[in-house]
């Protein structure tokens, strides 16, 4: 089977890598991809949000499956365009993808489905916003209602800062602060059935100790050795299955991955947000641990045959990924700097090699034969091992062999969990 992956980040590199390891896959293609993905897939210069171009490419390649990575093409209806050509597509249609594209829609679905989440007000005027802030009190949570690549959210104890963010958005959702550790759970869905992947934890703030601005994610690890054993089961029962059923009831069956971003509060798991796609960088560690071949699993989702799929198999052990971010990420990342320490066509291995570690590319490009940064999150260094401590040590060992002028990374990814 030929598979076409849409997107160009570390998540897409992880998807392409896992697909290439699947014996049922004869060719992996990616549009538009990046310099690292080029080592595991054939790249095509197609704009991900252009449904006509993506579906034409899928037909031309004779793809048996298209996997749409990022939210922008999903919200733009690219999965619909691909399915309209009769090509199986992993990724929700435009309508249910609004579960990520519109916070107000997501809240409406959760209310109807009885899914536990933060109480919230949607506000348009400054007066409404001020009243909502005062109704909840600090810490204040203010979210842009549109797509903002994880950067439209301000959590602050400063009322003026909260109000200023509200003023800068056309429509905002102001909500109750949820207190507790955050967990990302991905459920694979075929419109009716849903199957959970292993939960992971992401580090959203830019700097060590969860300080600094929100980012797309600075690192991740799995498994969650500290989480309650029945967490996945509880989240499926209380959150994922009711949401999938509610969407089906509304005539917008959900096909693809439903990403539940959760806070584990003292009253139980609460939804912080839903995303319509795999999380980045959590996917990089979750797919590393998944032993079940990926193509057949995603195809079963795309064709409505998930219920008949064999139970998932996991590798055991642990995986940790650390993001190497460009200078000035997330505010205004600098691009075009040379990356050193990654031999050309080294299949993701750092110079000298570190056992159990490899590098996925997030924002890279080739300038002649020079590998350069080309985005805010540049590389994902993945370490694996028997436990989190070993996986983490290997990730940081490999990271230490890479140089990128001005770059920064967190040094505390999976640190607390590895000590428990
Ligand atoms: P979102 O884009 O909705 O995932 O929000 C980004 C980050 O802001 C989340 O990962 C949380 O760390 C934080 N956040 C969002 N909503 C809340 C909330 N209601 N309570 C506490 N933290 C939140
Ligand atoms: N890592 C967070 C996200 O993908 O939205």
Ligand nearest to the CA of 9: 2
CATH for 2-93 is 3.40.50.20
CATH for 120-175 is 3.30.1490.20
Secondary structure in 3-state letters for the chain: CEEEEEECCHHHHHHHHHHHCCCCCCEEEEEECCCCHHHCCEECCCCCCCHHHHHHHHHHHCCCEEEECCHHHHHCCHHHHHHHCCCCEECCCHHHHHHHHCHHHHHHHHHHHCCCECCEEEECCHHHHHHHHHHHCCCEEEEECCCCCCCCEEEECCHHHHHHHHHHCCCEEEECCCCCCEEEEEEEEECCCEEECCCEEECCEEEHHHEEEECCCCEEEECCCCCCCCHHHHHHHHHHHHHHHHHHHCCCCCEEEEEEEEEEECCEEEEEEEECCCCCCHHHHHHHHECCCHHHHHHHHHCCCHHHCCCCCECCCEEEEEEEECCCCCCCCCCCCEEECCCCCCCCCCCCCCCCEEEEECCEEEECCEEEECCCEEEEEEEEECCHHHHHHHHHHHHCCCEECCCECCCCCCHHHHHC
In angstroms, what is the span from residue 174 Cα to ligand 1's centroid?
Answer: 11
Stretches in the chain below the pLDDT threshold 70:
147-151, 344-346
Residue 279 Cβ inside 6 Å of ligand 1? The answer reads no
- Cβ count near 146 (within 10 Å): 14
- Specify the pLDDT at position 386: 98
Residue 217 Cβ inside 6 Å of ligand 1? The answer reads no
Report the residue among 175, 203, 273, 277 best suited for mutation to probe ligand 1: largest number of ligand atoms under 8 A from its CB. Answer: 273
Using CB distances shorter than 6 Å, the residues near ligand 2 are 150, 202, 216-217, 275, 279-280, 282
Handedness of CA 402, 408, 412, 414 (dihedral sign): negative
- Specify the pLDDT at position 147: 63
Encode 72-99: b = buried (16+ Cβ within 10 Å), e = exposed. Answer: bbbbbbbbbbbbebebbbbbbbbbbbbb
Which tokens in the block code for residue 323? 């993001």
pLDDT 10s digits, 265-322: 999 999 999 999 999 999 999 999 999 999 999 999 999 999 999 999 999 999 999 9
- Specify the pLDDT at position 363: 97
Ligand nearest to the CA of 140: 1
Which tokens in the block code for residue 50? 């252009």
- Specify the pLDDT at position 298: 98
Task: Could you please state the CATH topology (level 3) that the domain comprising 318-419 is classified under.
Answer: 3.90.600
pLDDT 10s digits, 404-413: 999 999 999 9
Ligand nearest to the CA of 7: 2
d(CA 18, CA 311): 18
Ligand 2 nearest-atom number relative to CA 280 = 4
- The structural domains of the chain, with segments of one domain joined by +, span 2-93, 120-175, 180-308, 318-419
In angstroms, what is the span from residue 92 Cα to ligand 1's centroid?
Answer: 23
Residue 394: alpha-carbon gap to chain centroid: 23
Residue 301 Cβ inside 6 Å of ligand 1? The answer reads no
In angstroms, what is the span from residue 182 Cα to ligand 1's centroid?
Answer: 9
The number of helices, as runs of H, and strands, as runs of E, in the chain is 14, 24
- Specify the pLDDT at position 350: 85
- Specify the pLDDT at position 383: 98
Residue 64 contacts residue 39 (beta carbons within 8 Å): no
Q: To which CATH superfamily is domain 180-308 assigned?
A: ATP-grasp fold, B domain (3.30.470.20)
Ligand nearest to the CA of 205: 1
């Amino acid at each position: 089977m030929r598979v076409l992956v849409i997107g160009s980040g570390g998540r897409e590199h992880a998807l392409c890598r896992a697909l290439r390891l699947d014996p049922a896959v004869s060719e992996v293609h990616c549009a538009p991809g990046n310099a690292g993905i080029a080592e595991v897939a054939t790249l095509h210069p197609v704009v991900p949000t252009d449904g006509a171009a993506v579906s034409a490419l899928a037909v031309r390649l004779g793809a048996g499956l298209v996997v749409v990575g990022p939210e922008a093409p999903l919200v733009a209806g690219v999965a619909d365009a691909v399915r309209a050509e009769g090509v199986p597509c992993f990724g929700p249609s435009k309508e249910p993808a609004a579960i990520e594209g519109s916070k107000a829609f997501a809240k409406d679905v959760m209310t109807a489905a009885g899914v536990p989440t933060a109480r919230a007000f949607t506000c348009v005027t400054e007066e409404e916003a001020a009243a909502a802030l005062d109704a909840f009190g600090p810490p204040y949570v203010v979210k842009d209602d549109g797509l903002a690549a994880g950067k439209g959210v301000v959590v602050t104890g400063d009322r003026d800062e909260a109000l200023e963010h509200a003023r800068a958005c056309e429509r905002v959702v102001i909500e109750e602060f949820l207190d507790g550790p955050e967990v990302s759970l991905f459920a694979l869905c075929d419109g009716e059935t849903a199957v959970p992947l292993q939960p992971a934890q992401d580090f959203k703030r830019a700097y060590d100790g969860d300080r600094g601005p929100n980012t797309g994610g600075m690192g991740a690890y799995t498994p969650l050795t500290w989480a309650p054993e029945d967490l996945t089961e509880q989240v499926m029962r209380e959150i994922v299955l009711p949401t999938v059923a509610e969407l089906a009831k509304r005539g917008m069956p959900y096909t693809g991955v439903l990403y539940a971003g959760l806070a584990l509060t003292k009253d139980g798991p609460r939804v912080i947000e839903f995303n319509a796609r795999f999380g980045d960088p959590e996917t990089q560690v979750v797919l590393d641990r998944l032993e079940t071949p990926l193509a057949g699993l995603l195809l079963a989702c795309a064709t409505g045959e998930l219920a008949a799929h064999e139970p998932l198999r996991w590798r055991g052990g642990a995986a940790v990924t650390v993001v190497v971010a460009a200078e000035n990420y997330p505010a205004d990342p600098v691009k075009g700097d040379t990356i050193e320490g990654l031999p050309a066509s080294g299949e993701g291995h750092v110079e000298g090699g570190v056992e159990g570690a490899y590098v996925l590319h997030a924002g890279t490009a080739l300038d002649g034969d020079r590998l350069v940064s080309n985005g805010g999150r540049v590389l994902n260094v993945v370490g694996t091992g028997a436990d989190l401590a070993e996986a983490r040590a290997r990730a940081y060992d490999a990271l230490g062999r890479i140089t990128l002028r001005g770059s920064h990374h967190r040094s505390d990814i999976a640190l607390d969990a590895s000590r428990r």
